[in-house]
Amino acid sequence: MSTATTATEVNAQSGVYVVRWNSVEDKPSPKQAPFVIRSVAGLEIARVSYRSVSSQDFLDYNNVALPVSWVQHVSQFFEIVVNLDTKTTSLRIDGTPVAGFQNVPFVNAAALDVGTIGAEFSGIDAGIIGWDNVSITKVAPSL
């Protein structure tokens, strides 16, 4: 597993954070390759996964298929806006908000803060993944 962590000076239980990364899947048929945002306590906030089923490629958000897919060897830019005040997340891919995946409730409503973004590829065939430009940034204080 590879992770990026929120800097301690910006840890808070309110406000808005943006989690960003670029990733690419280089194998034609991964079973699942998840990137997971977790709280400091390890509670799941949101997840984006690459997967293939019967030669069809899917991107999932919190285990729901997106209307956007992935293409082998093509990098995509992911941004997840995490609003700690409303306990919701919003997904953008390549700068475009994904319809139907804005203001989505946290996977675990008990999450209080943003702790890590991790490539959690254990016990599955994640394929061959590359990811870089990973960051977690606080962009707005609590209202």
How high is the pLDDT of residue 122? 65
Structure tokens at 98: 């994904």
113 contacts 15 by C-beta, under 8 angstroms: no
137: enclosing H helix or E strand: strand 129-140
DSSP at 98: P
Query: Which pTM was predicted?
Result: 0.88
pLDDT given for residue 12 in this prediction: 75
Residue 66's pLDDT is what?
96
Could you give the 3-state DSSP secondary structure of residue 8? helix
Please identify every stretch of the chain with a pLDDT value under 50, giving residue numbers as ranges.
1, 143
DSSP secondary structure string, 115-128?
A: -EEEE---SS---S
Question: What is the distance between the alpha carbons of residues 139 and 18, in angstroms, rounded to a whole number?
Answer: 7
Spatial contact of 73 and 83, defined as CB atoms under 8 Å apart? no
Distances from the Cα of 52 to the Cα of 20, 110, 123, angstroms:
23, 31, 16
Take residue 66 and report the two structure tokens written for it: 């997106």
Give first-to-last CA distance, the chain, whole Å: 35
| pLDDT the model gives residue 110 | 97
